[in-house]
Structure formats: C-alpha cells, structure tokens
Amino acid sequence: MYISKASTSDLERIAELEEKCFPDKPYPRFFFTQAREIYAETLLVATSSDKNLAGYILAAPDSTSPNHWWILSMAVDPDMRGKGVGKSMLTEMLAALERLGANTVYLSVSEENTPARKLYDSFDFKLTRRNDDYFGKNEDRLILKLGLTQESPATLKPEELLSEAGISVSFSSVIFAVSAAILALISPRNDVAEFSIPLMLVTLSMLSSFYSVLFYANASGSLSRIHDHISVTKPLRYGNSVSEYLGIYPLVCAFPILVHFVTENLSITFAVAIINYIGFIFYQFSEFDLLSRVFPQKIHHTISTLVIITLMVSVLLTTIFNVNVASYISTMIFLSVLILLTIFGIKNHEVSAN
C-alpha cells in the first residue's frame, strides 16, 4: 500500500470512488478539483500494489484556528476494506497535519458506522458532542476530537531519530548479551539434549537481537551519513518488531524452563515463572508494547492473553508433565504466532525506540 498526495490524474478516480462509497450524497467531481488546488498537502490517496485507487482522505483547517483541522472525508474501496487502508491513510494524514502545525484534529462520523468508529477509537479520538441533523434531517453525527500531543516519526528531527536508534541498539545488545551468556552456560553440559526447547528459544532470541542491531545500525548510518530521516523509519520498524517479538518473547518463555532444568526444583521454577509472567503481563497491558501500537485495544488484550497462556502452557508441559511432544507443538504454535506478529508489526506499527 502506497500513500501519496493526490495528483491531477487521480481526481477522476477519486470522484468515482466517492460515488461508489457514498451513492446518496457524493461530493461532485469539481469539489475534488478545488480541494486539490486549495489543500494539495492534505488530499491523500492510497494506491494498491496493482496501481488501483484503494482510498482517499481529505483534511482542511478550521476557520477559527489555524492549529485546528478537520478531516472532511475519507473513503475506502469496498473491495479493500479490512486490509488496513483506512488506518494507513489516517496515520499519514495525522503526520502531515503535525508537520503543518496542527495540534487538534476533528472529524464527524455516523453513530451507526461501527467500523469507522473502531478505527478512530484505535487512534484515541474522543467524543466531544453529538450534532443532530448535521447533514440534513435524521442525519446525526458524532463529533470526535484528537489532540496531537505525541511526536510522530514523520515529525521527529534527525537527531531525535538518531537518539532513538542509539537507545534501540543498546537495548538489543543487552538482550543479545543475555542470550549469549545463557547459551555459553548451558552448551558444555552433558545433558544438553534435554534443553532442546529452551535452547531453541534462546538461540532465536540471540539471533533476532543480533539482526535487530544490524537494522538499527543501518538506520543510524543513514541518518549520520546522508541525513535521510524519511527512509530511516523502515529499518527502525524492522528492528523494533524483530527485537520484541522474536527477541524478548522467546526469552520470556525460555527462562522458567531453563531454571527448571538447571535446578530440578518445582518451587523455584514456579516462583521464577510467577515473577517472570507478572512482569510480562504488566508490560503487555501497560500499552507501551508494540501490540498496542498495531491493534485496537480489545484485539490487543486478546492477543496478549493468548500469548501469555501459550507461554504458561509451554512451561507446564515441560516442567510438571514432561510431555515432550505436546511441549514441542505448543512451542511451534507460539513461534508461529510470533512470526506473524513480527510481519504484521513491521507493516503497521509506529516507530519509536524499544
């Protein structure tokens, strides 16, 4: 999906999409011609990989304050809905508005438009009022408001992005060092074959942290050498997703299992597991994790809960029941989920340091 400013050649397709999405009261063709003349910076289009128009979004300043903007219209092709088009366009639009100095964004939405309201909720838009007959008789609208108080990657200065890359390198380096130290302690043991599952998880964590450092180094190098703060967000996105989903999560799963194999004491194992998972649960529901930047709150909490349950099942199967086949299956499912989360995170999450 590619988001860009609308060109003259896009206007006809935008008008056609408008009629397709809003057949009862579409904006006329000339409206979009004028909108592009006046608001060229804030008429954006989403283009699919096959060059088809997937959606458009338009914003304009409030007449009472230059720092207040309204999202006047947003439309997504019905065939492209549910694929993150609206979220991508809204993300780009908010970044563009921040660059233009906006500190508050308003929009109107029908109370019955559940998908749109869920999208706006995920961006933390808040209800300010309800306007009856806003677009005519019985066409009520909810007026939502978002304060742009958080810095977005599009508005961060190069030196700020460089600082984020440096913090991320340090974080991933620590995870790499911890994973490498664990492997160094376990590898010489005669019973190392019994450690196959935790060894696999720790090895994955170490390699993922190593490659995360490479991504961050690439981002840092781009900023330092060529001061390219636009393309730098891509390696940061890769690094953040890989280091969290494939670096931290496997290590969290492996640690209690390693303690059990080393101590062979269930009391110690469960004490460590409880402390470990309390910290992990607190992090997951603190909304500082990557999941909270990618998914709406309900989906985020559901996925977090499933990940935590899978982690606990892996520990129980390996420690108490010693069911090797089942524990392998559980671990494989866990790793598959992590890989999917990594791919989705790379495509969708906002850039910030881990």
- Tell me if residue 140 falls in helix, strand or coil: coil
CA angle 290, 295, 299 (to 5 degrees): 120
Domain ranges (residues) in the chain: 2-147, 158-348
What is the pTM for the complete model shown? Answer: 0.52
Bridge partners of 61, per DSSP, are 69
Average pLDDT, the chain: 78
pLDDT for position 332: 66
Higher pLDDT pick, 234 / 33: 33
Phi/psi of residue 350, nearest 5 degrees: -75, 150
pLDDT tens per residue, range 105-130: 999 998 888 889 989 988 888 888 88
Q: Tell me the pLDDT band of 238, cut-offs 50, 70 and 90.
A: confident
Q: Which residues pair with 70 in a beta bridge?
A: 60, 106
Between residues 269 and 62, which one has the greater pLDDT? Answer: 62
Structure tokens at 237: 């996105």
Domain 2-147 has CATH 1.10.540.10: no
- The strand order across the sheet containing 141-147 reads 2-5, 43-47, 53-62, 65-76, 104-109, 141-147, 126-131
CA atoms of 20 and 32, how far apart (whole Å): 15
pLDDT at 154 over 50: no
User: pLDDT tens-digit profile of 159-203?
Assistant: 666 677 777 888 888 888 888 888 887 777 676 666 677 788 888
Q: Would you call 100 helix, strand, or coil by DSSP? A: coil
Region at 31 (left for phi over 0; alpha for psi -120 to 50; beta for the rest): alpha
